[in-house]
Structure 1
Amino acid sequence: MTVALMWEARAVPGRGAELLAWTEERVRELPVSPLRRETFRAPQDRVLVITWWAAPYDADLPELPEPDAELVSRAVHRWRFESLGGR
C-alpha cells in the first residue's frame, strides 16, 4: 500500500520564501526518506509538501513539524491519504 502525507502551511505575509526554506531543511532532517516527495508553493505565502510512503494507512510515519509561531499565520493543516493507483 502507498500512503501520501500532505502538509500545508501559510506563512506570515512576506515570509513565504523563509517558510519554504524552513520546510526544505525539515524534509532533509526526516529520519527516513519517503518513496517520493513534492513541494509546492501558492499565493498568500502558502507551502504544500506531499510525501509518499510504502506503508499501511495507519503506520507511524515521520511528519514535518509545526514551524515556529512567528513564521506562520495559522496552524499547519495535515491530511493522510491511501493511494488508489495512477493511470
Structure 2
Amino acid sequence: MCDPIQNTEVRGLLAAVLEALAIPYPATVGGGEVYDRLLAERAMHATTTLRGVLDHGDDPGWTADYLRARLAEHPPAEHRARGDTEAGR
C-alpha cells in the first residue's frame, strides 16, 4: 500500500480534479448530451490546470482554487442525475 500524499496543496489539487471528473450520471437518455458537454468542459479545465502545474510549475494550491472557480461555472446541477426526483429538485 502506498503512503498517503502529505502535501496539502497537491492533495487539494487532486481533490479538485476528482471533483471535476466525478459528476453524477444523467437520469435520462436525453440527459446524455448535457452530461457529455458538461464533462468535456470540466475535463478541459482540469487538464489545463494540471498542465500548468506539471509543465510550467504553477502553484498547486492556487491552481486548485482556480479550477474550483472554473468548475463553479459548469455545475453538475445543470442536468438531472440518477436518483433525482421532481420533489428533490
Give the structure-1-normalised TM-score: 0.36
Which one has more relative contact order, counting CA pairs under 8 Å at least 6 apart?
1
Larger radius of gyration: 2
TM-score norm. by structure 2 comes to 0.36
Task: Select the structure that is richer in strand.
Answer: 1
